[in-house]
Amino acid sequence: MSTENRLVDSSPLLMEGPVEGPVEGVLTPGHQRLSGCVPLPHQVAGHKYGTSKVGILQHPDGTVLKQLQPPPRGPRELHFYTQVYCQDCTDPQLLALQHHLPKYYGTWASLESPNEVYLKLEDATRRFARPCIMDVKIGRKSYDPYASQKKREEQIRKYPPMEEIGFLLLGMRVYHVNSESYISHDKLYGRGLRKETLKSGLAEFFHNGEELRKDVISLSICKIRDILHWFEGQKQLHFYASSLLFVYEGSPQLANRMKGREDTRTGQEHGQGEAECNNNIHLANCKLRGQRCSLASQRSACGWLNCSDLRLDIHHVRHENGIWSHSLKNHLEQANGSRGRREDEIRCTKGVGDKRTALGRGRWRDGEKKEDVEVRMIDFAHVFPSDSPDEGYMYGLRNLLSVLEQILQD
């Protein structure tokens, strides 16, 4: 079996695919946890910290550690992050892309195991009291152009409808307020969904046991539309086997109480605030030992960027509110009929002097905002330079938007 088929395929919250044979750097119960790190508590599927495989770890400062995969995937993902977060980058497209990614804090290794390198990333779930999490792989192909025929056939067998549907649900974890417990679905649940059952399958993620969270659906649509807009304006990168990570607050009441306490704290940009109850680590009780963090601002790594010595500050415009003026009538096969951002498609408009949150049909819920929902791009081991639009990824985004709008309309 080739080395490619034995690589650790890890990503924040989800890791899919078997790992065969020994993998360097894997933590076993006999190993001491590195520098006080613990397993990330919200990994919804795939390889978790256990007997033979390492999952995503949580650092005592609240960030997450993703083990760098062996070549070529690990170096490729590291290269992607260093390109996008290059300190001297002036490429407006890549600077705008930062808004859709987890923050990148460089590479990390412990003194105990200096040869085991990790990507140090923002935990997108950290600020939520009861985070509901879903991972959706985007694109018509889950293999890259350099995959072997065997690898291509293997990926196609996992989910034959991917070419038509354009996305695959890898797993979800949903908080039900009535039972005060989580409901989880793994990758087999997603692979069992077909075109006729996609709507009901995705709707599970937005149902809290009492009601369908249309406010969350609306805000998710708005954020996906922002990502699609980025893709429509760029021709330099193609993404394969990459995912969207959805996170929303499952217990707004608890979150509001926590926010009251959070408002009294400032100046914790890198630490991302105190660890809340959704984390395994509490900063007040931890001691950082043997930390070695190398922030990646390597100018020599800027292979496909337009970088200079000037640092350009880009202020991203955030839509604080969303109003949905379009009633979806198209099916999946019609979702990609136009590449432009048509006026009759879903659009986000900013409300003036208004602190409301979209519920779908022009209705809003007081006290909530767009920041109560996260939609982040993750998994970049298969990102390649290009000189054309990424039609496969955009196809998946448009189809996902189509299904979500249908759920919202019902």
User: Which pTM does this prediction carry?
Assistant: 0.72
Q: What is the pLDDT of residues 81-97, one digit of tens each?
A: 999 999 999 999 999 99
The string of pLDDT tens digits covering residues 285-320 is 333 334 444 333 333 333 333 333 222 322 332 233
- Rounded Cα–Cα distance for residues 39 and 359 (Å): 35
Q: Which CATH class is domain 127-268+320-410?
A: alpha beta
How many angstroms separate the CA atoms of 85 and 305, rounded?
11
Structural domain boundaries in the chain: 1-123, 127-268+320-410
Of the ranges 57-71, 104-118, 273-287, which one carries the lowest mean pLDDT score? 273-287
Give the pLDDT of residue 46. Answer: 52
The string of pLDDT tens digits covering residues 255-267 is 777 766 666 564 4
Q: Please write the tens of the pLDDT for every residue from 316-369.
A: 322 333 323 333 334 444 555 544 444 334 345 433 233 333 443 333 344 445
Instruction: Examine the pLDDT at 206 and tell me if it is beyond 60.
Output: yes
Phi/psi of residue 65, nearest 5 degrees: -115, 120
What was the pLDDT predicted at 383? 98
Please identify which residue in the block is written with the tokens 């079996």.
1
Among the listed residues 8, 244, 16, the one whose alpha carbon sits nearest the alpha carbon of residue 135:
244
Q: What is the average pLDDT value for the chain, to the nearest integer?
A: 74
- Distance (Å) of CA 145 to CA 36, 241, 377: 39, 11, 20
Q: Give the burial class of 409: count Cβ atoms within 10 A of its Cβ; 0-12 exposed, 13-18 middle, 19 or more buried.
A: middle
Number of residues that this document lists for the chain: 410
**pLDDT score of 364:** 36
pLDDT at 34: 77
pLDDT at residue 25 greater than cutoff 80: no
Considering only residues 30 and 395, tell me which one the structure prediction assigns the higher pLDDT: 395
Confidence of residue 33 (pLDDT cuts 50, 70, 90): low
Cβ contact 9:16 at 8 Å: yes
- pLDDT band at residue 410, thresholds of 50, 70 and 90? confident
Angstrom distance (rounded) from CA 55 to CA 209: 29
Query: Is the peptide bond between 72 and the residue preceding it cis, with omega within 30 degrees of 0?
Result: yes
CA distance 28 to 7: 17
Residue 247 pLDDT level (bands cut at 50, 70, 90): very high
